[in-house]
């Protein structure tokens, strides 16, 4: 089956500013894909290129199997922009009606479709209120409703929870999970890594306009796991064994912490400690969070180094 | 289909944002005040002369009012059209709309259709009421009132098109100001051309002719003025070119110039579409 999104060295330059250096990635159909990176990494630029809002300087990309900007494919795409605004003089229902019309939702289905999306985002009570009277969070809910109109095959969400309270964030997570269960591809741009971690199948880390690393959440976090151990080490052999197993070793409050080992290595480590006569009282594998991996990559990744070198 | 959706959205916006209500109210106030003024002037003129004097005076009055109306129409057109696209880009409205299966050309041309409909509708309704008022009070009717309103509308349509095209690249205020400066420069060029003709200065005549080709507003106003002025005034301008001015026009723009204007409109609208098509949002 085709990928939902496939890009090869997609680049965008604004004058002398390189917004996207060369994006190569694939997003499978039905995946919830997290697109992560620091401010200015090129995330929103990438989304704009994929949606035909901006034009690439070089490279290639296909969305739902078609070249960028294809009108027929745009019918199957939903989008919540980061810096969005809807006509503040229209009511929420009218905004949705306008987008039904633009998206080509059949006239007979529009009312039901508008009611459905209003219900999904919890805006039924304000359906007849003008958008100008909405709080930022309510406008974001409306934006989400607009993105869901017409049951698109792929939904781009650019910082969908930036203005939402915890209840709103919970709702967005629920919506993304429902979309994923229905087979809709979700492309999620977000700074909120814990949320990405909860809802996405795979993520790409982007920095300085290029993908630094791609993988499933489990892959990315497992590689940087650590383990805490409470030991009785009368012979003093534990430090050597622990250092050999991981990348670094810390000792604090009676706990040894070994960083940088794979979770699957833990049983072997414990076995070697026991064999060496060390008494093992507690073993606590620690999973690295996506945020740990994010910070790790951006502080040591090559693109960041390049950027620093370029500016020096 | 999307083109009509955008056109109807633009018209709805004008109605909802009370643009139409404000314009209607101002027009009513203007019509009320001018009706009162015309009635007073008519009475004063009858004390100093006969009906011929009244008709001659009202002919000049209609030219002056027509000129003011065309200026207001032109400036209003520029200020309404300049933000039509620019403000949607600045606010982020287009980011939500244009990923939909809609051509950018539909977005530009839909806006243009709505703005032209608003402008032409306003020109004919407000201008028609004003001319009818003059006729009822004084008995004076210009020779070709509909043609005059058509020329004035065309002048407004030129400015709508220019400001809309500028707004595809410039911020709304800049687009509006640039369009109005061009409008003013063209008027000055028209006056300079009249003087240059009287002085037989071919260089200035050629230069100002180029200006009137680049932006056809002044020549279109002269078409409106010719349609408003009685035959005697036009004849005077024809026989003595030194008297030609924006208020004393010897001949309407030639048919070739009308075709040029239509071509100008098509070209500038096409440029607006191309410019917006290529813009990164």
ipTM value of the model?
Answer: 0.83
Tokens of A54: 């901006």
First to last CA, chain B: 23
Residues of B in Cβ contact (< 8 Å) with A51: 99
User: What pLDDT was estimated at residue A289?
Assistant: 77
User: What pLDDT was estimated at residue A308?
Assistant: 36
Residue contact A77–B99, C-beta within 8 A: yes
Radius of gyration of chain B (CA): 20
User: What pLDDT was estimated at residue A287?
Assistant: 74
- Is the pLDDT at B9 greater than 60? The verdict is yes
- Is the pLDDT at A230 greater than 80? The verdict is yes
Its pTM stands at 0.84
Is B30 touching A (CB cutoff 8 A)?
no
- Is the pLDDT at B239 greater than 70? The verdict is no
User: What pLDDT was estimated at residue B17?
Assistant: 85
- Segment A78-93 mean pLDDT: 89
User: What pLDDT was estimated at residue A218?
Assistant: 81
Q: How far is C-alpha B198 from the geometric centre of its chain's CA atoms? A: 27
Tokens of A39: 């401010």
- Is the pLDDT at A163 greater than 90? The verdict is no
Q: How large a percentage of chain B has pLDDT more than 90?
A: 66
Tokens of A127: 């359906």
Is B177 touching A (CB cutoff 8 A)?
no
**Confidence band (pLDDT; 50, 70, 90) for A309?**
very low
- Is the pLDDT at B236 greater than 70? The verdict is no
- Is the pLDDT at A1 greater than 70? The verdict is no
**Least confident residue range of A27-41, B102-116, B165-179:** A27-41
Of B17, B101, B281, which has the smallest distance from its Cβ to A48's Cβ?
Answer: B281
Residue contact A85–B97, C-beta within 8 A: no
- Segment A279-302 mean pLDDT: 77
**Least confident residue range of A234-243, A282-291, B66-75:** A282-291
Residue contact B280–A14, C-beta within 8 A: yes
Taking the domains of chain B in order of start, what are their residue ranges? Answer: 2-277
User: What pLDDT was estimated at residue A312?
Assistant: 44
- Segment B4-22 mean pLDDT: 91
User: What pLDDT was estimated at residue B67?
Assistant: 92
Q: What is the mean pLDDT of chain B?
A: 90
- Segment A69-80 mean pLDDT: 92
Please tell me the distance from the alpha carbon of residue B220 to that of residue B152, in angstroms, as a whole number: 7
**Confidence band (pLDDT; 50, 70, 90) for B136?**
very high
> Residue B123 in contact with residue B117, Cβ under 8 Å?
no
User: What pLDDT was estimated at residue B227?
Assistant: 93
- Segment A47-58 mean pLDDT: 95
Please tell me the distance from the alpha carbon of residue A278 to that of residue A292, in angstroms, as a whole number: 30
Is B39 touching A (CB cutoff 8 A)?
no
Is B243 touching A (CB cutoff 8 A)?
no
Closest residue in chain B to residue A68, using alpha carbons only? B99
- Is the pLDDT at A79 greater than 50? The verdict is yes
User: What pLDDT was estimated at residue A273?
Assistant: 93
- Segment A42-68 mean pLDDT: 94
**Confidence band (pLDDT; 50, 70, 90) for B193?**
confident
Residue contact B96–A104, C-beta within 8 A: no
Where do runs of H (alpha helix) occur along chain B? 2-16, 19-48, 51-91, 93-97, 104-138, 145-167, 172-199, 202-214, 217-228, 231-239, 255-277
**Least confident residue range of A264-273, A281-290, B8-17:** A281-290
Residue contact B100–A14, C-beta within 8 A: no
Residue partners of B1: CB distance under 8 A and separation at least 6? none
Q: How large a percentage of chain A has pLDDT more than 70?
A: 94
User: What pLDDT was estimated at residue A286?
Assistant: 79
Nearest alpha-carbon partner for A278 in A227, A226, A236, A248: A236
Alpha-carbon distance values, A140 to A186, A203, B190, B191 (Å): 17, 23, 53, 55
Highest CATH level, class, for A225-287: alpha beta
Q: Give the range with max mean pLDDT: A120-134, A246-260, B234-248.
A: A120-134
Query: B125-131 contacts: CB < 8 A, separation 24 or more?
Result: B125/B27, B126/B27, B126/B30, B126/B31, B126/B69, B127/B66, B127/B69, B127/B152, B129/B27, B129/B31, B130/B30, B130/B31, B130/B34, B130/B65, B130/B69, B131/B62
Of A54, A85, A143, which has the smallest distance from its Cβ to B280's Cβ?
Answer: A54
Is B102 touching A (CB cutoff 8 A)?
yes
- Strand, coil or helix: what is A243? helix
- Segment A305-312 mean pLDDT: 44
More confident residue, A212 or B107: B107
User: What pLDDT was estimated at residue B46?
Assistant: 83
Domain A5-216 CATH superfamily: P-loop containing nucleotide triphosphate hydrolases (3.40.50.300)
- Is the pLDDT at B47 greater than 90? The verdict is no
- Is the pLDDT at B51 greater than 90? The verdict is no
User: What pLDDT was estimated at residue A223?
Assistant: 64
Taking the domains of chain A in order of start, what are their residue ranges? Answer: 5-216, 225-287
């Amino acid at each position: 089956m085709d990928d939902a999104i496939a890009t090869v060295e997609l680049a965008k330059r604004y004058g002398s500013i390189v917004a996207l250096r060369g994006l190569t990635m694939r997003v499978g159909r039905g995946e919830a894909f997290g697109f992560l990176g620091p401010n200015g990494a090129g995330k929103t630029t990438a989304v704009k290129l994929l949606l035909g809002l901006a034009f690439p300087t070089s490279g290639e990309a296909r969305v739902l199997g078609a070249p960028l900007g294809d009108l027929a494919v745009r019918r199957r795409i939903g989008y919540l922009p980061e810096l969005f605004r809807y006509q503040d003089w229209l009511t929420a229902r009218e905004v949705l009606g306008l987008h039904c019309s633009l998206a080509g939702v059949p006239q007979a289905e529009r009312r039901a479709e508008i009611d459905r999306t209003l219900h999904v985002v919890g805006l039924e009570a304000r359906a007849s209120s003008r958008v100008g009277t909405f709080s930022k969070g309510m406008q974001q809910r409306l934006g989400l409703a607009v993105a869901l109109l017409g049951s698109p095959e792929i939904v781009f969400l650019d910082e969908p929870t930036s203005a939402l309270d915890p209840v709103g964030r919970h709702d967005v997570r629920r919506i993304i999970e429902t979309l994923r269960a229905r087979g809709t591809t979700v492309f999620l741009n977000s700074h909120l890594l814990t949320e990405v971690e909860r809802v996405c199948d795979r993520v790409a880390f982007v920095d300085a306009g290029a993908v630094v690393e791609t993988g499933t959440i489990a892959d990315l976090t497992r590689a940087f796991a650590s383990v805490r151990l409470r030991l009785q080490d009368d012979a003093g052999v534990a430090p050597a064994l622990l250092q050999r197993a991981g990348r670094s070793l810390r000792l604090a409050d009676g706990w040894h912490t070994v960083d940088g080992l794979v979770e699957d290595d833990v049983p072997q480590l414990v076995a070697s400690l026991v064999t060496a006569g060390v008494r093992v009282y507690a073993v606590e594998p620690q999973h690295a969070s996506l945020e740990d991996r994010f910070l790790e990559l951006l502080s040591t990744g090559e693109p960041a180094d390049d950027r620093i070198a370029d500016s020096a | 289909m999307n083109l009509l959706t955008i056109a109807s959205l633009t018209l709805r916006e004008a109605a909802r944002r009370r643009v139409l209500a404000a314009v209607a109210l101002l027009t009513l106030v203007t019509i009320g005040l001018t009706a009162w003024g015309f009635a007073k002037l008519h009475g004063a003129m009858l004390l100093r002369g006969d009906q011929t004097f009244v008709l001659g005076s009202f002919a000049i009055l209609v030219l002056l009012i027509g000129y003011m109306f065309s200026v207001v129409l032109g400036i209003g057109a520029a200020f309404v059209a300049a933000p039509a696209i620019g403000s949607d880009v600045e606010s982020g409205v287009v980011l939500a709309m244009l990923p939909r299966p809609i051509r950018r050309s539909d977005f530009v041309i839909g806006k243009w259709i709505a703005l032209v409909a608003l402008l032409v509708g306003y020109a004919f309704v407000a201008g028609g009421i004003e001319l009818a008022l003059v006729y009822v009070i004084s008995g004076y009717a210009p020779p070709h009132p509909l043609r005059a309103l058509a020329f004035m509308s065309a002048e407004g349509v030129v400015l709508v098109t220019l400001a809309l095209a500028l707004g595809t690249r410039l911020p709304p205020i800049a687009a509006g100001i640039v369009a109005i400066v061009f409008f003013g420069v063209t008027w000055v060029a028209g006056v300079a051309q009249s003087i240059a003709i009287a002085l037989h200065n071919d260089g200035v005549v050629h230069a100002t002719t180029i200006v009137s080709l680049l932006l056809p507003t002044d020549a279109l106003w002269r078409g409106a003025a010719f349609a408003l002025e009685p035959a005697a005034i036009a004849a005077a301008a024809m026989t003595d070119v030194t008297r030609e001015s924006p208020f004393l026009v010897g001949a309407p723009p030639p048919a070739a110039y009308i075709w040029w204007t239509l071509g100008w409109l098509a070209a500038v609208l096409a440029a607006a579409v191309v410019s917006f098509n290529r813009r990164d949002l």
